[in-house]
Amino acid sequence: MKKILFFVFILTLFFSCSNKIDNVEKSFYYWKSNSWSLNSRESQVLKDLKVRKLYIKFFEIDHNEAYGDFPVSKTSLRFYQKEDFLIVPTVYIKNEVFKNTNRERMDTLANNVAFLINKYANERFEGAIMTKEFQMDCDWTLTTKDNYFYFLKKLKAVSKKEISCTLRLYPYKYPEKMGIPPVDKATLMCYNLINPLWNHSKNSILDIEELKLYLNKKRKYPLHLDIALPTYSWMQVYKNDHFYKVIYDGQKEILKSLKEIKPLWYEVTKDTVVDDFYLRIGDKIKYENLTSEKINEAIKVIKKNVDFDTNTTVTLFHLDEEQLSNYSNEELSGFYTNFSK
């Protein structure tokens, strides 16, 4: 009898530590606004990895007193892929939109978002299959929660679509406080854990110890959860010890003009022109990037603590030639398949 109980205990312990996804649907976010088409490298990555789903940012919503709520950063992408690609229209909405607002304004916003998504879908994505899903991306807070949730309900009613939203790790860990968004499913964003301007010693894109603070025990969220992982890097430029801007492009060329002064931090050693501004000798740069080992370490933490459904979408952020050049196709493929092991 003791042997049987011991065997049952071992099996329970084994399965409690194993939380693989039986069927991983591979996807990418596409977040560029100024590109008219996928380039050859980006198209080839989709083909090689057998990715057939893209979350494409159609536009963003901003707000100011003069213009109210208005769209910005509208996509220029025309989709020429002729295979059966699934396109999920995605909209980033700034949290300010849901401050000091009212139901009438939220009704109008829901109508306008649905209208503009459908307009772009008809004009620019004839070669792809549009999904029944719209995804909203917003870093909602406790004070904007009610307005944002009302908007989500209204958008579902007027669009007749399945509505998903992004879910940061704080509201994931504290649903009693932050509420459960009224959507069909959510994508858990396992990155951007730290404000990049507040902590100069940690990688703000992905820090494993910070990730463990939010994913510290296995739990079942009340919604179906998909997963998003980071495959990008950036450079934060500081002039005279004050933050100046973020650089996404041309990083490998810029690195030739830098010397490392401490972990994550570099100093410019020669004047360098970057797009429309100069990097001067003495400027400081915090360079945040992620190795494949770091991403796979994060996957282990996620698998241990997040209760998945059988069919789950894993999305990499984002589909960009320069950013993806930091990884081999084998490494990129592993970010998907490691969830099934």
- How far apart (Å, rounded) are the C-alpha atoms in residues 326 and 289? 9
Domain end: 288, 308, 326, which one? Answer: 288
Which pLDDT belongs to residue 58?
97
Strand 265-268 with 258-262, pairing:
antiparallel
How many domains are contained in the chain? 2
Residue 4 belongs to some domain of the structure: no
Residue with tokens 């570099």: 266
Which pLDDT belongs to residue 144?
98
Residues 196 and 248 in one domain: no
The parts of the chain modelled with pLDDT lower than 70 are 1-18, 81-83
Q: Which of 120, 122, 72, 68 is nearest to 93 (CA)?
A: 72
Residues 327 and 281 in one domain: no
Could you say which DSSP state residue 111 is in? H
Which pLDDT belongs to residue 85?
85
Can you give the pTM of this predicted structure? 0.93
Residue 172 belongs to some domain of the structure: yes
Domain end: 288, 307, 329, which one? Answer: 288
Residues 209 and 239 in one domain: no
Residue 140 belongs to some domain of the structure: yes
Residue 9 belongs to some domain of the structure: no
Residues 228 and 239 in one domain: no
- Owning domain of residue 318: 20-232+289-340
Q: How many other CB atoms are found less than 10 A from the CB of residue 28? A: 24
CATH number for the domain harbouring residue 88? 3.20.20.80
Which pLDDT belongs to residue 128?
83
Distance of CA 91 to the CA centre of its chain: 12
Which pLDDT belongs to residue 103?
97
Residue with tokens 């999920």: 88
- How far apart (Å, rounded) are the C-alpha atoms in residues 280 and 179? 47
- How far apart (Å, rounded) are the C-alpha atoms in residues 41 and 33? 18
